[in-house]
Structure 1
Amino acid sequence: MPMRRPSSLADRLFWPIVAGGAASLWFGPKALAVAGLAVLALVVHRLGRGGRFRRRVRAIARRHRETLALRRRQESYVDPYGNEILDGWLRERSYFAERTVLPRLEAAGYGDLIEPRWDEILDIVEAASLSVAAPDEAEALPEDGLAYERYCAALLERAGWEARTTKAAGDQGADVVAERDGVRLVVQCKRYAKPVGNGAVQEVVAARSYWSADCAAVVSNAGFTPAARKLAAATDVLLLHHDALAALGARPTGRPR
């Protein structure tokens, strides 16, 4: 974040006080009283900026709370020791704050408050991501890989695709092949307890060629490593959480995450 020099209350009051004092020399006590009221109004307005700043951040985050909640689920996972790993989500949270919240605050004249209240902005974004109840998938989400493939195929069917799982042998990296409106999609499914690496991306790239598919995706209940994201961006592969499958359009697009 660029450094910003906060505009102090004294800076904003300096010229009104000087102007009021000068006017009182010409027009007497009434001019001084008017200047005093103007200074008081500035003080009240300035003291209320913090509350208006917080309300604006909440409004921005609230508009995106569904997406934030989804991204929090996608970028978090529980490791084999039972620890909730939030590294990916924390990066996503900062990305949202920097790219979505910060420009709107600067445009509204709150640029001087961004740096001193950065942690407060992140806390508000965090609260928005937790304000949407997560789907109860404790029982629905299969534990083994083959069942997870069928689960993903069913989600694609719900979105209007004709989806089928492939045979374990000879699938050439495609666990699910789906078609809709003349578009063929190959999917590699990973039911993991840790972020998926770039090996899965390599496999689905090969599957896209083998199945003459139009697009390819790696789907997981967990997040993806930086190496997987980099390779997916270079090879035009979608990286998706299974939550996104039920609404996947016939021309799947989007920046791999």
Structure 2
Amino acid sequence: MLRNLFKSEADKTRDELTTFRISLLPFIKQYQLEDRWQEACEVAFRGDDAITWIEKNSQLTRSSLFFQRAKEEMVAGAFAAYLLTHALPPLYSSHLNTLKRKERTLTVTDDYGVEHYEKWFSELEYFFEHVIKYDLNHWIEQHQQQLNQLWPDNNPAESVWGSGRVSYRAFTLPGQFERIVRREIMRVVDEMPEPHTPGYSPHLSGIDYEHFVASCFEKAGAACQVTRGSGDHGLDILVDYRGCRLAVQCKHYQGKVGNKAIQEVFAAKQFYDCLLAMVVSNSDFTPHARQAAQKLDIYLYHHDEIAAFIQILDEWIDAPDGPEVS
């Protein structure tokens, strides 16, 4: 006690903030929030620890407004971490494959090898505003009482801020909460493994080959819907890439692909209102098939060339005179 009398105000402030942080740890450990809490605090304190953040904004004293705010942000960060762990995953889990595809598609490397993330960040903003935000706020409203009772000793009389203030354990959120949520979704998507593309085999059945071709498109960032067989007007795969719809027919042949495939995929293009049409094969095409494809504006590709085709499609979509896609 006597030794504390000779401490500077800055040291006393550091000690009290450390004690305050320790008082939050039982809650953090109970719900296994360590990583998410640390990330939430990093956002709240602009990448600094609480002490450094206070020093950058004011004097390091217990009477400082920023000292009080630091404690509030640590508590709010704990609640944010709880929501990131318990409320958020069910809201985005069904969209993860789409988000991973969007990340691949919208992260662009320029001619100098510099990666540009602007379009991907814009997509995350859109996803949060139109998919996550309302449902998350609704979840919070529905669970407000439960959130306020997370700490069993939630007693205003025992508040570390002293009497006359609401208990520090009452539910609140940090001012940067939306940014914290977007950052969490981006982290989850970034850590997702790339989709596995099954290897090609000459022994694949026709249906298996269709799924193999679809996986090649998906790996390149496209969304695919494999049809279920007859009655699909010549369509095997409906591909959507950046709003550009592509009708695809797959031919797994030992011999050359003939003119019939060209006619069928042309009909599918018209029926499904696609911008482009393509026949993908492991084999070559007959001269008559190539002639018909040129006349009807049908693309003919080997499955190994799908990634290269997507790159060409990117350039076309991004060109000033490119197509209008939704």
Q: TM-score normalised by the shorter chain: which range applies?
A: 0.3 to 0.5
Q: Normalising to structure 1: TM-score of the pair?
A: 0.43
User: Which protein, 1 or 2, shows the higher relative CO under an 8 Å CA cutoff with sep ≥ 6?
Assistant: 1
